[in-house]
Structure 1
Amino acid sequence: MLNPVWIQTFATVAAARSFTDAGRQLGLSQSSVSEHIRRLEENVGRRLFVRDTHSLAMTPDGEALLVHARLILQALARAESQFSAPRLQGRVRLGTSDDLAQGPLPKVLAAFRNSHPDVELEITIGMTGKLYELMDAGTLDLMIGKRRDGERRGVPLFHGALEWLAVPGTVADLSRPLPLILVNEPSVTRAVVLDTLAKAGVQWRIVCSSSSHSGCVAAARGGLGLTVRARDLAGRGLVPPVNADSLPALPQVEFISLAARRLSRPAETLLRLLQKSDLRGSRLDD
């Protein structure tokens, strides 16, 4: 077994190129440094340094071990940092659109929970428009969703191109009003879709409305009509119509994170994690 103390001594000697200087940095005698290196060499069964009275050089095996030593020491430092820091406590009120909630967001929340088990998460899932209202009312600490038209607040997370979706084999009949399945107002996606169709001069009719994207996906899977989602968050079991190229091209939408002006440490920690994570889901067509 590789003793972390020996590994630390080895890495320090490799950087200092001197047993004496390494001992000074570690607060050890030169004989102790030599003993650590000797026992490490015995443990790995390889010579790590070539020494004479005037110089110290690493062997190829020493160079190879140094790569692993640095990774080991970095992992130990991260572990010590996590468990020596005060545990976060409190509550975070997070709002998310349901299309993001159905993507990799649960994995991000699980990672946060594992690192900070004493923090209570209060999650609100709703249409982005409603989440903006809750943010403005001060009932959410954070929200992630689509950027509302004309909105300048928020930090971009990613862009997603909207696409038409239906059950496999669907051919959109452009000689008749398109049967649409859309979320209720207020909805960024609904506004974008209807504006695009109006500009293209394409007629439509709403055959089904839902309070959630998951409801729209369910209706579309039932064959009621066409729905729309960001390509990276496409609905399970749905694909673009056979003649999708004949339909008006839909624009990209921007997904953002938005935070209250004053955040608790738990909320700041979750916000940083969300902004570093890739919240785009993988496409699931089965």
Structure 2
Amino acid sequence: MLNPIWLKTFAAVAACHSFTEAARQLGLTQSSVSDHVRRLEEAVGRRLFVRDTHSLAITPDGEAMLAHAGAILQAIHRAQAQFRAPRLRGRVRLGSSDDIALGPLPTVLAAFRNAHPDVELEITIGMTGRLYELLDAGAIDLMVGKRRLGDRRGTALFTGRLEWLARTGTMVDLEQPLPLLLVAEPSVTRAVVLDALAQTDFRWQLVCTSSSHSGCVAAARGGLGITVRPQYLAARGLAPPLNVASLPLLPDVEFIALAAKRLSRPAQTLLELLHESDLRGAWVGE
């Protein structure tokens, strides 16, 4: 078994090229340093140093051991740092749009839970517009969703281009109004789509309005019409219409994290994790 104390002493000797200097830096006697190195060499059955009365040289096995010692000591340091820090406790009230919740959010929540098991998570899933209202009212601590048109609050997590989706194999009849399946107000996606259509000559008709993206996906799978979702959040069972190139081009939307002005330590920690995570990822929603 590789004793961390032996490894620390060995690494100090290798860095100083001297048993005497290593003993001084570690606050040990020279005989203790020699004993640590000897016992490490016995444990691995290899010579780690070649030494005489005038010189000290590390062996090839010693070079290999030095690499392992560095990795082991760093891992021990990280573990000690984690468990010396006080455990986070409390509650985090997180709001998430349902498209993010159906996609990458569970991975982030699992990582947070594993690191901070004593923190209670309270998750609200809803339309982004509603989440803004809850955040402004102090009902949630932070949210992840789409940025409202003209709103500069929040930190961008990723950008996704909106795309038309329908039941696989759908050919949209361009002679008729576009059969739209959109989420209800307040919805950033709905506002972006209707604003984009207003800039074109296309006619459109709201065939189905749902309180969630899941409802729109279900209606699209049933062949009721066409819906819209960011490319990174594409749903299984749907595909762009066969004549999608003839449909209006849709803009990008920004996914952001937005927090209250004052955050508890658990909420701030989750916010930092969201910023560090690649929520775009390589995944398929729903």
The answer to whether the superposition gives a TM-score over 0.5 is: yes
In structure 1, the partner of 2:128 is: 128
AA matched with 2:153: R
- What TM-score comes out, normalization by structure 2 length? 0.92
In structure 2, the CA distance between the partners of 1:171 and 1:46, relative to structure 1 (3 Å rule), is: farther
Segments of 4+ moved more than 6 angstroms: none
In structure 2, the partner of 1:23 is: 23
In structure 2, the CA distance between the partners of 1:19 and 1:213, relative to structure 1 (3 Å rule), is: farther
- Larger mean CA deviation between 126-135 and 156-165 belongs to 156-165
In the alignment, structure 1 residue 104 sits paired with structure 2 residue 111: no
In structure 1, the partner of 2:236 is: 236
Q: Residues 233 and 285 of structure 2 are in contact (CA less than 8 Å); yes or no, is this contact kept in structure 1?
A: no
1:199-231 Cα distance to aligned partner (Å, 9 max, x none): 122221111111111221222222222111111
AA matched with 1:185: E
1:238-274 Cα distance to aligned partner (Å, 9 max, x none): 2222222222222111111111111111111111111
- In 2, the alpha carbon distance for the partners of 1:55 and 1:175 equals 90
AA matched with 1:26: L
Deviation at 1:82, TM superposition (A): 1.6
- Larger mean CA deviation between 246-255 and 57-66 belongs to 57-66
- In 1, the alpha carbon distance for the partners of 2:223 and 2:73 equals 56
In the alignment, structure 1 residue 41 sits paired with structure 2 residue 41: yes
AA matched with 1:8: K
In the alignment, structure 1 residue 141 sits paired with structure 2 residue 164: no
- In 1, the alpha carbon distance for the partners of 2:227 and 2:52 equals 75
In structure 2, the partner of 1:249 is: 249
SS in 2 for 1:166: strand
- In 1, the alpha carbon distance for the partners of 2:171 and 2:61 equals 64
Q: Residues 103 and 285 of structure 2 are in contact (CA less than 8 Å); yes or no, is this contact kept in structure 1?
A: no
Deviation at 1:281, TM superposition (A): 4.5
- In 2, the alpha carbon distance for the partners of 1:165 and 1:55 equals 74
Unaligned regions of 5+ residues in structure 2, if any?
A: none
In structure 2, the partner of 1:94 is: 94
RMSD: 1.9
AA matched with 1:201: D
AA matched with 2:173: D
In structure 2, the CA distance between the partners of 1:203 and 1:262, relative to structure 1 (3 Å rule), is: same
Deviation at 1:42, TM superposition (A): 3.1
In structure 2, the partner of 1:84 is: 84
- In 2, the alpha carbon distance for the partners of 1:199 and 1:177 equals 15
Percent of residue pairs bearing the same amino acid type: 73
In structure 1, the partner of 2:186 is: 186
AA matched with 2:160: G
Unaligned regions of 5+ residues in structure 1, if any?
A: none
- In 1, the alpha carbon distance for the partners of 2:231 and 2:57 equals 55
- In 2, the alpha carbon distance for the partners of 1:255 and 1:174 equals 31
In structure 2, the partner of 1:219 is: 219
Q: Residues 102 and 285 of structure 2 are in contact (CA less than 8 Å); yes or no, is this contact kept in structure 1?
A: no
In structure 1, the partner of 2:278 is: 278
Q: Residues 156 and 255 of structure 1 are in contact (CA less than 8 Å); yes or no, is this contact kept in structure 2?
A: yes
- In 1, the alpha carbon distance for the partners of 2:180 and 2:52 equals 81
